[in-house]
A = this chain, B = another copy of it.
Amino acid sequence: MTSDDTVAVSGSPTIATIASETGVSPTTVSKVLNGHSDVAPETRARVEASLERHRYRRRGRRQPVATAQIDLVFHEFDSAWAMEIISGVEAVANAATVDVVLSQLRGSHSPTRAWLDAVLARRPFGVLFVLCHLTSAQRQRLHRQRVPFVVIDTDSATSASVPTVGSNNWNGGLIATRHLLDLGHRRIAIVSGPHEVLCSQARVAGFRSAHDEAGIPVDPGLVRYGNFHVVAGYEHGMELLARADRPTAIFAGSDMQALGVLRAARRLGLDVPGQLSVIGYDNLPVAAWTDPTLTTVNQPLRDMAGTATRMLLDLAGGVDLSTSRIDLVTELVVRESTAPPAGGR
Contacts and interface: CB of A to CB of B under 8 A. Distances in A.
Interface of A: 32-37, 48, 51, 58, 62-69, 72, 77, 79-80, 82-84, 86-87, 90, 94, 97, 99-104, 113, 117-118, 120-125, 140-141, 144-147, 230, 259-260, 262-263, 266, 285-286, 289-291
A144 B35 contact: yes
28 contacts: A33-B144, A34-B145, A35-B117, A35-B144, A36-B117, A58-B146, A63-B123, A64-B123, A65-B66, A65-B122, A67-B121, A69-B101, A72-B102, A77-B86, A77-B87, A77-B90, A80-B80, A82-B83, A83-B83, A90-B103, A99-B101, A99-B103, A100-B101, A100-B103, A101-B102, A262-B291, A263-B291, A286-B286
Nearest to A145: B35
Q: How many copies does the complex hold?
A: 2
A31 to B, nearest CB: 12
A28 to B, nearest CB: 14
Contacts of A124: 64
A37 B118 CA distance: 11
A99 B119 CA distance: 10
Nearest to A148: B62
Contacts of A262: 289, 291
A71 to B, nearest CB: 9
Given A90-B104, A117-B37, A285-B79, A62 B123 contact: yes
Contacts of A80: 79-80, 83
A64 B121 CA distance: 9
B86 A122 contact: no
Contacts of A84: 79
B64 A122 contact: yes
A111 B124 CA distance: 25
Contacts of A121: 35, 65, 67
Given A32-B144, A62-B146, 15 more contacts: A35-B117, A35-B121, A37-B117, A64-B69, A64-B122, A64-B123, A66-B66, A67-B122, A72-B102, A79-B285, A90-B104, A99-B122, A101-B102, A262-B289, A263-B289
A101 B125 CA distance: 14
A86 B9 CA distance: 39
A34 B83 CA distance: 33
Contacts of A86: 77, 86, 102
Contact of A66 (B32, B63, B97, B285): B63
